[in-house]
Structure 1
Amino acid sequence: MTVVVETRSPSTSSLGPGARGRVAPTIAIVATLVLWQLAVTVGLIDAQYFPDMVSTVTQLAGLVVSSSFWLALADTLMGAALGMAWAVALGIPLGVLFGSTEWLYRAFRVPIEFLRPMPSVALIPVAVLVFGTGLEGKVFLAAFAAFWPLFVQTVYGMHDTDSVVVETARSYRVRTFDRLWRIKLPGALPFIMTGARISAAVALILAVTAELLFSQSGLGYEINLARSSGAISLMYALIIAAGFLGLLLNAVMVFIEQRVLSWHPSTRELLP
């Protein structure tokens, strides 16, 4: 009897799920950087408006040891965090109230539908007029923009609660507060956490937008300052740093969401 031994060379198919999940993004990032450098080097992109990858990455590395960069980063995070805090403090309680009181939601549906799609940047003149060009104006814009995803998701979550479960609890004479606390809120929590993740990103976007347009500090201000002074490589490095900040913020929110919803079937299998 002949025994055939099959040998295989190492490949990505032999990697674990976690390793395979890291290989593809790494290859994509490296390929993007190489194509960026080549496009500028051969002249497909004008280096006057889009600097090469090496000089931009060098500027990005220099930001790590720059105290002014970290101060600007802290200022941007402060504006986004305060805006998010106001959105949470107002959006979740009001969402629970409107989501559990049908007549109240119907009564205010018109002003809600009017304000919800309003572009937050349209309120920049109001922010400057009322709050000035300091931190308060930035927080106002971030809070207004971040409020609506959280509010709407909370309302939808309250409406999505299984009516059979609610009616069963009512038939057993479970108190209104207990029905809200033990049935409706847990049922709405996945919606609320999704709204919080969206709102955190929106708050950061509006904080940087406010800094670009009227604020005198923060990442947006530093980006605008680099543009006006002709430091194009620095400008792109700051833009990339803002992108990394958004990526980190989203990762933090996903981590919090998975821990808060560790009991929920949709996230239980994702936890280590």
Structure 2
Amino acid sequence: MHSSKNQDDPEDGYFGASVAATYDDPGSSAFAPEEVEATVDLLAGLAADGPALEFGIGTGRIALPLARRGVPVHGIDLSRAMVDQLRAKPGGEAIGVTIGDFATARAAGDGEHAPGGFTVAYLVYNTIMNLTTQAEQVACFRNAADHLAPGGTFVIEVAVPDLRLLPPGQNAVPFRITPTRWAFDHYDVATQAMSSNYVEVVEGRGSYRSIPFRYVWPAELDLMAQLAGLRLRDRWEGWDRAPFTSESGRHVSVWEKAAQGG
């Protein structure tokens, strides 16, 4: 959800209009119907009869089909350009969105759609890594906990850091190479800072875009959850609930807020 700042409104961060316009990629596995359906199945089950809160709602890849299941959905997102894409889709106008940093912003709703009233909060597709400091990631967990009702759950889908691809002395891993497009991840293992970098040549002219992230380990996320008063309930390799193992490239983790009196 990020792009070159000199092409877009700076307030949208890296997810400006040029990225928002092409963000939905039918060729991406994240947009495959079976992936979306499995994601929505799990989240709808966790929401039960209550509302859901999406951190980084973006263009509504998950929020819209979840709302069609009858789950009330509210979102928080920094990028107005991404939310504009959501609004342009059928049902998008009916979803409430608060513009702000999901690490700290409070949902601008009332009743069950206000902080303390959500039965599930979720953050998918590696978006926790868009928070580029540990302090911001810790704040995100606290913000999620503040929004959840007692017994509510916080769900994160994120990649496991793939540092085993780095031989000694190497700090970059390519993940796309074509005659006109090159992309690679750059890692700083001392700080857990990383970036995804894209080079593209169109009609003989090159462009470069770099997106900063902070990778985070499952055990580190569990400690962040503990600091926020949440406990790990489940961890799977994906939305289909396959077991998480030492070979898993990602995880879907569910932390639970203690029920009142629990």
Q: Same fold (TM over 0.5)?
A: no
Structure that is richer in helix per residue? 1
Higher CA-based Rg = 1
TM-score (norm 2): 0.22
- Structure with higher RCO (Cα < 8 A, 6+ apart): 1
Length-normalised TM-score, structure 1: 0.21
